[in-house]
Chain A
Amino acid sequence: MGRILVIAEHDGSELNPSTARCLSCAGDFSGLDCDVVVLAKDGKRVCEQAATLHDVSTVIRIDHDANEHALAAVQAPQIAKLAEDYSHVLGPSTTFGKDLMPRVAALLGVAQVSDIMSVISPHSFQRPIFAGNAIVTVETRAQDMVVATVRTASYQATADGGKATIESRALDVELPTHTRYRGTSGSGDGGRPDLQSASIVISGGRGVGSEKNFALIYQLADRLGAAVGASRAAVDAGYIANDHQVGQTGKIISPDLYIAIGISGAIQHITGIKDAGTIVAINKDADAPIFEIADIGLVGDLFTIIPELEKLL
């Protein structure tokens, strides 16, 4: 029998919701126990959070000064060392996991499976290719360790209520010093819900027209308690920061409600919202491709529709 190791994503103090989604995926490997590893400078708080998640056996705490910031080159050799005791190593398909997991796989001399969207058997999975325009069922060799990223939009967060034990460990591995973290600037978005886990997301596209006009999107989002997203065109035009981008090369999200405003519906954008519960599109062009996939479409000028919506909601 095997055993699964899930790599926790966190910012030093808070566990990222992607970890609970990975655990849901791990739960689909019937019969395999699952541990979570937290690599941090001081992982106490994050480990405590991970220990409350459902179906975790042990939370492994690896404290090291070099783990203050998540650098793939530093974390990968530690995970590769830990992986010796496991049949499966899973990380989220967030930028954190995508950066790290292939490096882990290469150190272990195995393939990496990207973006698991469903588990068929312990060695067989479904994953999207061509921006989600095809879904492949893949199988890894039975003798190989499985190293994979989990497409977080395909999984709900696992429940709380677990009582895993926390076990501190020290690893005897040499860590490189060739890469140094210098800082992160994020929009933070003023305490609004996190785009990747929000239940409502309102996105603006090029049609919004300017950074100033994006205030309209934010107002509507605040009315609904929604997170704010954007198309690549809106990010490229400088209307909004890159961390809002939704799509093939941005965030893949699965909110209950997605409202696309002034977004044409390019295939690369649609990829990011395919798993949304309900998609609403507001666009002045009745022929915009977004209407082909929207559950509710409204043709009209966003500058008149948004104020009306605000009054009605």
Chain B
Amino acid sequence: MDRILVCLKRAVDYNVRIRVKTDGSGVITDGVKMSVNPFDEIALEEALRIREKGETGEVVVVSIGTDACQQQLRVGLAMGADRAIHVRTDQALEPLDIARVLIRIAEAEKPGLIMLGKQAIDGDNNQTGQMLAALWERPQATFVSELTISGATATAVREVDAGLETIEFELPAVVTSDLRLNEPRYVKMPDIMKAKRKPLTTTELEELGITPQTRVTVLQTAAPPARQKGKMVADAAELVAELKRMDLA
């Protein structure tokens, strides 16, 4: 295949302890560390490995959002992507509109694979890849922990509730990554320098002819009910006594 398209979402870093604004209007993101959504980073790593095996010509990273997304695209370029596409918008797009934008990019780039994380760790929606595959009318392999390309077909091992499911599908297709697909490489300093010279093109969302819609409105954001710290017991006997008292053993 000529190329793989990998979608990178700028998301709050997974180490950040998120806090809800007291007025219920959202979560605090000011001054919070932002990173590439970890699942997307894994998708990119896999695409790079496929390229290293000679099974694709290039890896193109895409991000949709504000100018700040270019930071994440630069990380992608430093990891080894060949070029980057930034679709600029200040609006927060819903998964269905993200999928519609990606279809536009796919029409222009004609990738053999579009790879994304199975979910973003901010909204935890787990939708974009599936929606994209539906609109593209192509196969989807979600929650993938092993991927093998052989010519015009691919085999994926999927992490499902019952264990590991294997499917075979024709390319082009959409693949969403699970955590165990690989361990992303560390970016080295010279790669960051090199990434600055790699092509990054910006397209305004409007130029793609897509008008985002608000289908789902967030009315309120609240902190979850907290679990209270319970009691400590001294030994196994006390633990069992406590469980028996609670009718649990």
Residues in chain A within 8 A of chain B (CB atoms): 11, 71-73, 76, 94-96, 98-107, 109-115, 124, 128-141, 144, 176, 178-188, 196, 200, 224, 232, 235-236, 241-243, 248-249, 251, 256-257, 267-268, 274, 277-280, 291-300, 305, 308-309, 312-313
Contacts and interface: CB of A to CB of B under 8 A. Distances in A.
A130 B232 CA distance: 29
B138 A178 contact: yes
Contact of A139 (B20, B132, B216, B246): B216
B162 A134 contact: no
B229 interface: yes
Contact of B236 (A134, A184, A305): A305
B181 to A, nearest CB: 12
A187 B161 CA distance: 11
Contact of A312 (B12, B217, B224, B237): B237
B197 interface: no
B180 interface: yes
Given A297-B232, A305-B236, A138 B217 contact: yes
Interface residues of B, number: 80
Interface string B92-129: 00111001000000000000000000110111111111
B142 interface: yes
A232 B178 CA distance: 12
Contacts of B17: 133, 267
A178 B136 CA distance: 13
A242 B230 contact: no
Contacts of B179: 232, 249
By Cβ-Cβ distance, the 9 closest A-B pairs, closest first, are A186-B163, A295-B230, A102-B130, A106-B134, A308-B236, A106-B131, A102-B127, A111-B215, A182-B166
A135 to B, nearest CB: 5
A282 B180 CA distance: 27
A138 B125 CA distance: 13
B165 A183 contact: yes
Given A103-B131, A105-B96, A139-B217, 9 more contacts: A73-B140, A99-B130, A112-B95, A140-B217, A241-B164, A242-B145, A242-B180, A249-B179, A251-B161
B240 A313 contact: yes
A23 to B, nearest CB: 18
B239 A309 contact: yes
B230 A128 contact: no
Contacts of A140: 215-217
Interface stretch (B45-53, B82-90, B167-175): B167-175
B248 interface: yes
Given A106-B134, A178-B139, A179-B139, A135 B222 contact: yes
Nearest to A108: B134
Contacts of A188: 163
14 contacts: A104-B134, A105-B127, A106-B96, A112-B131, A133-B17, A133-B223, A138-B219, A141-B215, A178-B138, A184-B164, A251-B161, A268-B14, A294-B230, A296-B239
Given A105-B96, A313-B249, A129 B134 contact: no
Contacts of A94: 161
B229 A291 contact: yes
A297 B233 contact: yes
